[in-house]
Amino acid sequence: MSEIATDLPRHQPASVVTEGGLVRGLLIAVAIVFLALFLVLPLATVFVQAFAKGWDAYLAAFHEADAHAAIRLTLITAAIAVPFNLVFGIMASWAIAKFEFAGKNLLVTLIDLPFSVSPVVSGLIYVLVFGSQGLIGPWLLEHDIQIIFAIPGIVLATIFVTFPFVARQLIPLMQEQGTAEEEAALTLGASGWHAFRTVTLPNIRWGLLYSVLLCNARAMGEFGAVSVVSGHIRGLTNTLPLHVEILYNEYNFVASFAVASLLAGLALVTLGLKSLLEWRYAGDIAASGRRH
Amino acid sequence: MAEPPLRPRRRFRQPSVIPGFGLTLGYTLTCLSLVVLLPLAALVVRASGLGFSGIWEVATDPRVASALRVSFGVSALAALTASVFGFLVAWVLTRYDFPGRRIVDAVVDLPFALPTAVAGIALASLYAPNGLVGAQLAKLGIEAAYTPVGIYIAMVFIGLPFAVRTVQPLIVEIDREIEEASATLGAGRLHTLTRVVLPPLIPAVLTGFALAFARGVGEYGSIIFIAGNLPYVSEIAPLLIVIKLSEFDYGGACAIATIMLGISFVTLLAINLIQAWSRRRFGYV
């Protein structure tokens, strides 16, 4: 075969299933220019503005009690919200992927619900429950429990907006993997927990890591929902994104962009790791079926 | 006497040897109820307390009506832009090979990963009259920041990944043989694209449009910095909810939220109908 092939003329005939070279180049150029203008330029701006007045001004933004408090609160929030959603995601996907029961589709839809609610509305509903005029607000007031304009409210709102992340990643993945391996483990005498730990968990670990990564990025970066429930008390209920807003509104642009660059760095690390996982473990992250 | 044939008993759950159903489903339902359903129910209770006339009264308030018009109108335009360029980007990423393709592909997800407040201040400083892009636009007589144009730019930013990621997997799976057949039968490339390749992709494009639209309507963080938030001009509905809340006008906030949720619900319903239609027409979503 190969000898025959070499006898053929060297030039490739124009393929009938792609566009001409000129059109192709033009389309690639338009796509890249569009992405550069709309996506890359804003990202670059964050770093340019953060370093506009040099390193010292940049670092000064972090030598400040309010900035420390904001970093601490953001870490606390993520440290509660992410594990919560991790456990919830595993529990939900076990129930939904390993068993057949009535009302399953409805359950999946309800888990996805927070994705289609505006961040501001996500904050609002918690104010309606826990706020001073809320459903159980008066009772909370009587017992001196503060949820809105305090850390619990921020954590709750963050859990709400990141609620579907782990579950919606794991459910299709575990559905595709089926139950045969777990059944084999159980037949061989493993307990349910043992089967989960030694059979299921290794199968879903990359998908789990992937979803935790995205969940964490959103938990640390959430603005709208947290803004509604936080009350913006400096040093107390300000997360990093809220701190960025306050500094910006005070025309303290360098400090604002410096703090923002921390979050942008987090986004870049998240994107890098995400792409790495997609490239290295494509088959282990998501179900291969037709879905996005 | 013959036994009547055994009819399978309808049951809630198919039998399985795998343990943990009660525990995991119970935990799932408890979390779902406490975190998602109960707080959303609080909104429904509040809104039903207002009644239809109460909500209508808020919706027809000139300032609220104007904010809703801005939110939904600009978001539709932005979603349209995101769909067109999103399709182009998805096509280029799946069909052509060029250096740095993997990086470009990763960049598409940037709006998912970048906190909205960070995107917001970056866009605001870029498109401000003295900003890098804003100054150029000003020479052309276009004011971007602090006008609906700024809202449009932020919404395109936030909606683009939805448009790209909904169409991309379907372009990957197009059967190239159909295109070959079309070419063999004498169709030009443009003819093949518009008559053979594009029609099956329309449902995905529409779904991407609807997702970008819904996201744009609800978006807050990336918009408020660039919008300028002038009442009747560049004030968006989510911001008005925040304003009503800060005035302790819970009823007004609930009414706007209900209207937004209602329209989002209709959008989601539309997505489902598009997908059901697509399944019937093309055999897949």
C-alpha B188: how far from chain center: 35
Closest-CA residue to A252 (of A27, A83, A52): A52
How far is it between the farthest Cα atoms of chain B? Answer: 95
By CA distance, what is A48's nearest residue in B?
B122
Cβ B260–A118 below 8 Å, yes or no?
yes
- The verdict on a CB contact (< 8 Å) between B122 and A20 is no
Window 203-242 of A, Cβ < 8 Å to B: 214, 217, 220-224, 227-228, 240-242
The verdict on a CB contact (< 8 Å) between A35 and B12 is: no
Label residue B114 exposed, middle or buried (CB < 10 Å: 0-12, 13-18, 19+). buried
Question: CA–CA separation, B236 vs B217, rounded Å?
Answer: 8
Whether A170 has its CB under 8 Å from any CB of chain B: the answer is no
DSSP 8-class letter at B216: H
Rounded to whole angstroms, the Cα distance separating A92 from A251 reads 45
Nearest residue of B to residue A115, measured between CA atoms:
B215
8 A C-beta contact, residue A230 and residue A64: no
- CA-based nearest residue to B125, from B134, B117, B116: B134
Please, which residues have CB within 8 angstroms of residue A84's CB and are 6 or more apart in sequence?
Answer: A159
> Is the separation of the CB atoms in A170 and A211 below 8 Å?
yes
Cβ pair A176, A285 in contact under 8 A: no
Q: Enter the DSSP assignment of B201.
A: G
Is B28's CB within 8 Å of A125's CB?
A: no
CB contact under 8 A, A35 and B108: yes
**CB nearest to B42's CB, from A135, A159, A227:** A135
Question: Is the sign of the CA dihedral A50, A54, A57, A61 positive or negative?
Answer: positive
Q: How far apart are CA A75 and CA A69, in angstroms?
A: 10
Mark which residues 221-280 of B lie under 8 Å from A by CB.
Answer: 221, 225, 238-239, 241-242, 245, 248, 250, 253-254, 257, 260-261, 264, 268
**Burial, A217: exposed, middle or buried (Cβ in 10 Å; 0-12, 13-18, 19+)?**
buried
> What's the gap in Å between the CA of B1 and the closest CA on chain A?
36
Whether the CB-CB separation of B100 and B181 falls below 8 Å is answered with no
Quote the CA–CA distance of A238 and A149 in Å, as a whole number: 10
Taking only Cα atoms into account, the Rg of chain B, rounded to an integer number of angstroms, comes to 24
Among B99, B154, B93, B165, which residue's Cα sits nearest to residue B123? B154
Q: Which residue has the higher pLDDT, A280 or B4?
A: A280
Q: What's B6's DSSP letter?
A: P
Instruction: Report CB contact under 8 Å: B42, A128.
Output: yes
Half-sphere exposure of A125 (CA within 13 A, CB side): 26
CATH number of A53-285: 1.10.3720.10
**Which H/E stretch holds residue B73?**
helix B62-95
**Shortest distance, CA B174 to any CA of chain A (angstroms):** 11
User: Is B39 within 8 Å of A19 when comparing Cβ atoms?
Assistant: no
As for the ipTM of the complex, it is 0.89
pLDDT tens track for B126-135 = 999 999 999 9
DSSP state of B197: I
Q: Which residue of A has its CA nearest to B109?
A: A271
**Cα separation of the two ends of chain B:** 51
For residue B123, the chain A residues in CB contact (below 8 A) are 42
pLDDT per residue rounded down to tens, chain A (292 residues): 444 444 444 455 557 677 878 889 999 999 999 999 999 999 999 999 999 999 999 999 999 999 999 999 999 999 999 999 999 999 999 999 999 999 898 999 899 889 889 999 999 999 999 988 888 888 998 999 999 999 999 999 999 999 999 999 999 999 999 999 999 999 999 999 999 999 999 999 999 999 999 999 999 999 999 999 998 788 788 999 999 999 999 999 999 999 999 999 999 999 999 999 988 888 788 776 444 3
Nearest-neighbour CA in chain B from A176: distance (Å) = 16
pLDDT tens track for B190-223 = 888 888 888 889 889 999 999 999 999 999 999 9
Segments in B141-236 forming alpha helices (H) = 148-172, 176-184, 189-192, 202-218, 221-227
Nearest to A165 by CA among A105, A81, A43: A81
Chain B closest CA to A59's CA: distance in Å?
18
Contact A227 B221 (CB under 8 A): yes
The closest CB to that of B95, out of A18, A38, A39, belongs to A18
> Which of A42, A100, A179 lies at the smallest CB-CB distance from B119?
A42
The 10s digit of each residue's pLDDT in B64-108 is 999 999 999 999 999 999 999 999 999 999 999 899 999 999 999
Distances (CA, A) of A22 to A19, A25, A26, A201, B85: 8, 5, 6, 49, 19
Minimal CA separation from A260 to chain B, in Å: 6
| Beta carbons of B160 and A39 less than 8 Å apart | yes
Q: Residue B37: enclosing H or E segment and its boundaries?
A: none
Do B151 and B77 meet the contact criterion of CB atoms below 8 Å apart?
A: no
DSSP secondary structure of A10-65: SSPPPPTTS--HHHHHHHHHHHHHHHIIIIIHHHHHHHHHHTTTHHHHHHHTTSSH
